[in-house]
Amino acid sequence: MRISDCMKKNVFSIPATATVRDAVQLFVSHHIGLLPVLNPDNHPVGVVGLLDLLELALPAAIHMLEDVDFIGDFGALETYRPPEEVLAQPITRLMRPGTVVRADSGLVRAYALMLQHKLHDLPVVDAEGRLIGIASRVDIGTLILSGWL
Amino acid sequence: MAPLILSSIVFVACLGFIFSEKLNRTIAALAGAALMIGLGKLLGFYSETEAIASIDWNTLGLLMGMMILVAMLEPTGFFQYMAVWASRLSKGSPFRLLVLLGSVTTVLSMFLDNVTTVVLIAPVTILISEVLGLSPAPFLIAEALLSNTGGVATLVGDPPNVLIGSAAGLSFNDFLTHSLPVVAVAWLAALLLLNLMFRKELRGARVNQEAVARLQPEEALNDRRSAVRILIVIGGAIVFFFLHSLLHLTPSFVALSAAAVALLVVRPPLDDVLRRVEWSVLVFFGALFVMVGGLEKAGALESIVSLFEKGATIPPALFGVLLIWAVAILSAVVDNVPITIALIPVIQGLGENGINPEPLWWALAFGAGFGGNGTIIGSSANIVVAVMSEKTRHPISSILWLRRGLPVMIVTCLIASLIFFLAYDLFTG
């Protein structure tokens, strides 16, 4: 079995020329976790995750502390909204290099890649490197398990 | 003449590297120490045996003992507990928050390493101020400035004090009777000045009261049992610090014994504890001792002593005031540890030449301690909070530090100078 057997073909992506606000719009309206960023030829040049955007709302101190149990109420941070200039900046500012697999990749290999790179969704490309689908951990994992029945 | 010139070049070049931050300070000092011994052997002015003998083991032992205690206290969450407790106590008043966080940082850093204190309290400060909808910058700057200022009060509060105390034979109580009163006035003045300078940020802020009420200090304390045991041991060490000259114990013996008792009582994973000890600081100190030992043997310090002797023809109280300012200005731009280590043999030299060194030790302590407030690179605590603030939405720039820290440095040095000048007799013996 190949990853092309379980990937979603209806994949949402965002052009490299889009803004952070455009990405927010796509995440909200489609309820997704990862957006591949594409160049005009449909080749992924990186990815932006829901968590990358949520980092904007989190204070950096979160990463400096082992736990934050002592804060019973996140107060002002609960209603924090990034300033306009942050939302208007190009999405490429928040983009990170993405891991992609080719459609003929085996499932266990794809799953191993996701584990290693701590990914929840894996963009799939054709032989020419164009985006053709996306597979989640659940898509891949359940297809592997189905082979055991 | 060659040893004098070459050893001075090695020392000044080393200070230059530390100042420019082109090289890690410990690497710079270690390379300088190796070069100094190499030159000494080559030109016959300094040997390995003399280099080892120039290291002040009492200072290193005291620092290491206190570092082990802090390394054990660190994972218990005690520092975070104190910061959260202080924040809750503020009841949402930004001014009270500044005073309480500043006070907690100061009190802790009077007895424990102030860099560790700031490293552990600053992230909590950043998070709490953001939760309350405040900029963390005033609180972070206040914590660093007030802990630098407060650290001057005790023998163990500040590395220059450890060095001065060890070289001059000043006891813990000597610092409490001579330095603490000056620091208390200077600290209060610094606090008032900070409140004045940050009035816009503090008064204009609307604090989320509900979030303050829901702060839970006890949640920050991960290991209450160990924290209590270590604090009891630290308390015992402080009692022995009070008594050390009476019992003829060195402060390093007290600190290392306390570390041994704490390790025995708590039995933490030793590797974890030793990993938290700042070995690079200890190596830095050791290397500086070796370098300054070389300077001394090369006769470089004698020239400075004679230069100082000429200066000492002016009234001694005025000479001390000038020393406060000279050391403070130097400490604002270069690490105060090498400045102190280099000036110690100079003051000892003056003492041997018939000038009373006692007031000069205090002038050195005030200058080195208060001078570090002036610039963002003036002390390690300043650098720590500035680097942490870069990850927040309100980074602290060098200019902002200069605008807030320099007035604090000037006011605290003025207060120290005034008290030193007016009550000069108190510092003479």
Residue of chain A nearest B125, judged by CA positions:
A61
The residue with tokens 């002016």 is B314
Neighboring chain B residues of A65 at a CB cutoff of 8 Å: 80, 123-124, 127
* Minimum Cα–Cα distance from B393: chain A residue: A59
Q: Distance between CA A122 and CA A100 in Å, rounded?
A: 6
CB atoms within 10 A of CB A25: 13
3-state helix, strand, coil in chain A (%, to 5): 40, 20, 40
Binary contact (A65, B127; C-beta < 8 A): yes
Residues 60 through 99 of chain A touching chain B, CB cutoff 8 Å? 60-77
Buried b / exposed e over A126-147, threshold 16 CB at 10 Å, is eeeeebbbbbbeebbeebeeee
Q: What is the pLDDT of residue B335?
A: 82
B133 contacts in A (CB within 8 Å)? 75-76
Question: Which residues of chain B have a CB within 8 Å of the CB of A74?
Answer: 131, 211
Q: How many CB pairs under 8 A join A and B?
A: 77
* Secondary structure class of B84 (helix, strand, coil): helix
User: Which of B293, B257, B361, B302 lies closest to B56, judged by CA?
Assistant: B293
Give the per-residue pLDDT at A67.
82
Picking from B40, B132, B42, B34, the residue whose alpha carbon sits closest to that of residue B86 is B132
CB B217 within 8 A of CB B88: yes
Looking at the complex, report in whole angstroms how far the Cα of residue A134 sits from the nearest Cα belonging to chain B. Answer: 33
Distance CA B367, CA B417 (A): 9
Q: Is B130 on the interface with A (CB under 8 A)?
A: yes
A80: nearest CA in chain B? B133
Q: Do B130 and A70 touch (CB under 8 A)?
A: no
Closest residue, chain B, to A68 (C-alpha): B220
- Read off the tokens for B393: 């939405």
Query: Which of B126, B130, B384 best probes binding to A when mutated, by most A CB atoms within 10 angstroms?
Result: B130
Place of tokens 């989640």: A136
CB contact under 8 A, B215 and A61: no
CA A50 to chain CA centroid, Å, is 6
Is the CB of B391 less than 8 angstroms away from the CB of A77?
A: no
The whole-number average pLDDT for the span A38-54 is 94
Calculate the CA B426 to chain-centre distance: 24
Phi, psi for residue B23 in degrees, rounded to 5: -135, 140
Q: Which of these, B360, B424, B409, lies nearest to B164 by C-alpha position? A: B360
Q: How far is A10 from chain B (nearest CA, A)?
A: 38
What residues does A34 pair with on adjacent strands? A49
Residue B57's contacts (CB-CB under 8 Å, 6 or more residues apart) are: B252
Residues in contact with A33: Cβ distance below 8 Å, sequence separation at least 6, in sequence order: A27, A49, A50, A120, A121, A136
Interface membership of B217 toward A (CB under 8 Å): yes
- Bridge partners, A134 (sequence order): A8, A123
Residues in CB range of A82: below 8 A, 6 or more apart: A20, A56, A57
Judged by CB atoms closer than 8 Å, whether chains meet at B216 and A69 is answered as yes
Flag whether residue A148 sits within 8 Å of chain B, measured between CB atoms: no
Provide the residue ranges of all domains of chain A, joining segments of one domain with +.
3-146
- pTM listed for this prediction: 0.84
Tokens 């007035």 sit on residue: B407
Cβ distance A70 to B215 less than 8 Å, yes or no, reads yes
Q: Which two tokens stand for residue B120?
A: 């552990």
CATH number for the segment(s) A3-146: 3.10.580.10
B44 — contact with chain A (CB < 8 Å)?
no
- In the predicted model, is pLDDT for residue A93 greater than 80? yes
What distances in angstroms separate CA B285 from CA B9, B24, B253, B340, one per listed residue? 19, 13, 18, 11
Q: How far apart are the first and last CA of chain A?
A: 14
Distance CA A35, CA A31 (A): 11
Instruction: Decide if B391 touches A, using CB distance below 8 A.
Output: yes
Beta-carbon separation of B127 and A59 below 8 A: yes
Would you list the domain boundaries of chain B?
A: 2-427
**Contact: B220, A60; criterion CB under 8 Å:** no
Q: What is the pLDDT of residue B205?
A: 67
Cβ proximity of A73 and A91 under 8 Å: no
Task: Choose, out of B79, B89, B124, B127, the residue to mutate when testing the contact with A (most A CBs < 10 Å).
Answer: B127
pLDDT value for B116: 84
Cβ–Cβ contact B101 with A under 8 A? no
CB-CB under 8 Å, A75 with B211 = yes
Q: Do A59 and B130 touch (CB under 8 A)?
A: yes
ipTM: 0.72
| pLDDT number for residue B33 | 96
Name every residue whose Cβ is closer than 8 Å to that of residue A34 and which is 6 or more positions away in sequence.
A47, A48, A49, A50, A119, A120, A121, A123, A134
Q: Which residues lie closer than 8 Å to A134 by C-beta, 6 or more apart?
A: A7, A8, A11, A34, A36, A121, A122, A123, A124
- Cα–Cα distances in angstroms (integers) from residue B305 to residues B215, B296, B312, B341, B358, in the given order: 56, 11, 10, 14, 16
Interface test with B, best of A63, A64, A70, A78 (most B CBs within 10 A): A70
Q: Hey, are the CB atoms on B220 and A70 less than 8 Å from each other?
A: yes
Instruction: Count Cβ atoms below 10 Å from residue A90 Cβ, excluding itself.
Output: 14
Contact at CB, A65 and B80, closer than 8 angstroms: yes
Q: Please choose, from the candidates B365, B387, B399, B370, the residue with its C-alpha nearest in 3D space to the C-alpha of residue B166.
A: B365
pLDDT at B312: 67
- In tens digits, what is the pLDDT along chain B, a chain of 429 residues? 789 899 999 999 998 887 777 888 899 999 999 999 999 999 999 999 999 999 999 999 999 999 999 999 989 999 999 999 999 999 888 999 999 999 999 999 899 888 888 988 999 999 988 888 889 999 999 999 999 999 999 999 989 999 999 999 999 999 999 999 999 999 999 999 999 999 988 886 667 778 888 899 999 999 999 999 999 999 999 999 999 888 999 999 999 999 999 999 999 999 999 998 989 989 999 999 999 999 989 988 888 888 877 766 788 899 999 999 999 999 998 888 889 998 999 999 888 888 899 999 999 999 999 999 999 988 889 988 998 898 888 889 999 999 999 999 999 999 999 999 999 999 987
- With an 8 Å Cβ cutoff, are A72 and B215 in contact? yes
